[in-house]
Structure 1
Amino acid sequence: MSNTDLIQSIAHKNAAAFQSAQQSLSSKGSADSAQSVGKAMAFQMVSQATGMLVEDAASFLRNVMEINLAIVSVASYEYVKSDGVNVIWLTVIKEAFKVIEQATVVFTTISKAAGETLSQFPA
C-alpha cells in the first residue's frame, strides 16, 4: 500500500468514525451508544496519530533523499574531474546510496506499523 493510499484509507475511516459517532449521539443515549462514541473517538485519535506518523516518515525520507542526492552529485563531479583517478568518490557515492536504502527501510517499517496499528481499532 502506498503512502497516499494509506493516508486516504485513514481519512476514509476517520470520516466513517465521525458519522458513526454522530449517529450514536442522535440515538437515545444508552450505554451502548456511549461506548460506540468512545470507540469512534479512540479510532479517530489513533488514525490521526498514525497519519501524522506516516507524514513525518515521508518527510524524513524526502530529506534524506535530497541530502544524499546532493552528495552523489558532488562526488560524481569530483570523480569525473579527477579523470577517474580519485576512487574515494566512488566510495562516497556507494555510501550515499546505502543511506538512501536504509531510509527507505525505515519509511517502510513505520508505514507498515502505522497500518497494522490502525487495523487493530474497529471503525
Structure 2
Amino acid sequence: MKFKRGEKIDTPQKPDPTHGQAIYTAQCASCHGGEGQGTKNPQGGYVFPPVWGKDSFNVGAGMARLYTAAAFVKHNMPLGQGGTLSAQDAVDVAADFTQKPRPDYAAWVKDWPKGDRPKDAR
C-alpha cells in the first residue's frame, strides 16, 4: 500500500489532545491497539505499527512532530479512508499520540545546530 504525503498542516488550530484521544479510541485503536502497541503479524513484525511505547518510532522521527503526523493521519487514516478526518481532528489525534512515551534518540539534539528547531518538534 502506498501512503500519501498530502499537503502540510501547519495551522493556527489549537491542538486538543483530549479530543484526539477520543478520536484515537473510536477510529484508530482497532488497528493500532488501545495502548498504541500495534497489531503484531504472526510471521513477525507488525501488521499495524505501534504509535507509542517501546516499539514505536523514536522521538527523533518525523512522525514525532505534531504537524508531520497530523498531515499523515489526515491523508491516510483510518486505513482506506484517508481524507475523512478534518485538519482539526488530525491535529488533535496527532497531539494525543505524539506526546505519549516512545524510545529516545539521543542524537536528535544535533538536528538543529543553529537553534532553528521547528515549533512542533518534541
TM-score after normalising by structure 1? 0.22
Q: Larger strand proportion, structure 1 or 2?
A: 2
Q: Report which of the two structures shows the higher radius of gyration computed on alpha carbons.
A: 1
Q: Name whichever structure is richer in helix by fraction.
A: 1
TM-score, normalised to structure 2, is 0.23
